[in-house]
Amino acid sequence: MIPSWILDTFAAIMLVVAAVSAARLVAARPWQRGARPAALADIDVAHLLMAIAMAGMLAPGLQTLPDGAWEVIFAAMTAWFAYRVARDAQASGVRALAGGHCAPHLIHAGAMLYMFVAVSAPMAHGSGGMSGMGGGGMSGMGTLSLPFLAFLFTLVLVGYSIWDLDQLSGPGASGHYSLAVARVAPPGPVLAGVGAPAGPGAAAVLTEPASPPVVAETIEEAPGVPPASAPADGTGVLAPWVATSCRIAMGVTMAFMLIIMI
């Protein structure tokens, strides 16, 4: 039996993610016209909902909605991100699946849906589905049918988390949300700082901030950015690395949950 304090710790991390995601939504004011593209708010909404759901799965005291409601929510979320991935794929081909922006969220939403649909009740308490945690299962949680699917989801989630962490800590191959870039970039939509090329010694080189000329060039590529969007484009709680950190935390926690429910 996994000690409950470990589950509680992960639940607490998810509550932090939920709080940060809520703060991002409030700060971005997506309901205001022109404040932020509506399509971007969906990611914070997804983070918020997934974090709340996972906290409830990990700690029974944090349950909010019945399992059926979560199934509907995550089915809709999966369909939405599948649509966005398909749209990205039309624009940039299969690259959207491997390195696109929505594919990780599609996997996250799909994994959540799978966990709610495929779980069987814990052995002892059996209060039904995911909400029966703290019961008599080996992990205190239910077990998942189709364990190989759980394994596959875990591999993909771990892969995305590792990739995100790499990108977060250096420009890398597509470092438009790296901390290194964030340190040198002025406030504004300077988010595609593409720095040092990968290559021999890249691990050392890529920890350096992107060179200013590259950043400046990127700025010039962004005409007509509405000034009103300044709070929404990468500072404070809206900084790109915040969302990426949330995604890493959720990915690792989700992988943890999938594995302990096999």
Partner 1 sequence: MSEIAAAGVRPAWRSRLGAGAEAARGAPDARRLLQLTLAGIWLLDGVLQYQAFMYSKDFTDMLSGTASGNPGVVAHPVTWNATLVQHHLVLLNTIFATIQVLLGLGIAWRPTVRVALAASIAWALGVWWFGEGLGMVLTDSASPVNGAPGAVILYALLAVLLWPADRDPAAPFVAARAVGAQVARALWLVLWLSLAWFALLPGTRAPQALHDMIAGMEDGEPGWLAALDRGAASLVAHQGLAASVVLAAALVIVAAGVCLPVPYAKGALVLAIVIAAVIWVFGEAFGVILTGGGTDPNSGPLLALLALAYWPAAAGADDRKAAP
Residues 129-158 that bind partner 1 (CB under 8 A): 137-140, 143, 147-148, 151, 154-155, 158
Q: Does 126 bind partner 1 (CB under 8 A)?
A: no
Q: Whose CA is closest to 16, among 63, 38, 61, 48?
A: 48
50/255 with CB nearer partner 1:
255
Nearer to partner 1, 94 or 201 (CB): 201
Smallest gap from residue 155 Cβ to partner 1 (A): 7
Q: Which of residues 57-76 bind partner 1 (CB under 8 A)?
A: none
* 95 part of the interface to partner 1, by CB under 8 A: yes
> Which residue in the block uniquely carries the two structure tokens 């709080």?
19
Instruction: For the CB of residue 208, give the shortest distance to partner 1 in the complex, in Å.
Output: 10
| Minimum distance from residue 116 beta carbon to partner 1 (Å) | 20
Please select the residue that binds partner 1; options are 11, 20, 21, 36, rule is CB under 8 A: 36
Are 53 and 130 within 8 A, CB to CB?
no
Structure tokens, 211? 């060179």
> H-helix or E-strand containing 182?
helix 179-184
Closest approach of partner 1 to the CB of residue 68, in Å: 27
Task: Kindly tell me which of 73 and 249 has the beta carbon lying closer to partner 1.
Answer: 249
SS3 of residue 211 by DSSP: coil
- Residues in 163-222 at the binding interface with partner 1, rule: CB under 8 A: 163, 165-166, 168-170, 172-174, 176-177, 189, 191-192, 194, 197-204, 206-207, 218, 221-222
How many residues in total does the chain contain? Answer: 262
**In a 3-state reduction of DSSP, which class is residue 52?**
helix
Q: Indicate the residue among 104 and 129 with the shorter CB distance to partner 1.
A: 104
**What are the φ and ψ backbone dihedral angles of 242, each rounded to 5 degrees?**
-65, -50
Tell me the CA distances in angstroms from 154 to 61, 123, 160, 220, one per residue in order.
26, 24, 10, 40
Tokens of 81: 């991100």
- Told to check if 44 binds partner 1 by CB under 8 A, we report yes
Is residue 247 near partner 1 by the rule CB under 8 A? yes
Residue 148: CB partners within 8 Å, gap ≥ 6?
Answer: none
Q: How many C-beta atoms surround the C-beta of residue 1 within 10 A?
A: 9
User: Is residue 115 at the binding interface for partner 1, with CB under 8 A as the rule?
Assistant: no
Please, what is the minimum distance in Å from the beta carbon of residue 139 to partner 1? 4
- Residues binding partner 1: what is the number (CB under 8 A)? 80
Distance of closest approach, residue 202 Cβ to partner 1, in angstroms: 4
Tell me if 52 contacts partner 1 by CB under 8 A.
no
Of 172, 196, 150, 186, the C-alpha closest to 244 is 172
Please, which residue, 197 or 212, has the CB nearer to partner 1? 197
Chosen residue from 54, 60, 240, 250 binding partner 1 by CB under 8 A: 240
Nearest of 111, 90, 108, 89 to residue 98 by alpha carbon: 89
Backbone angles phi, psi at 51, to 5 degrees: -65, -40
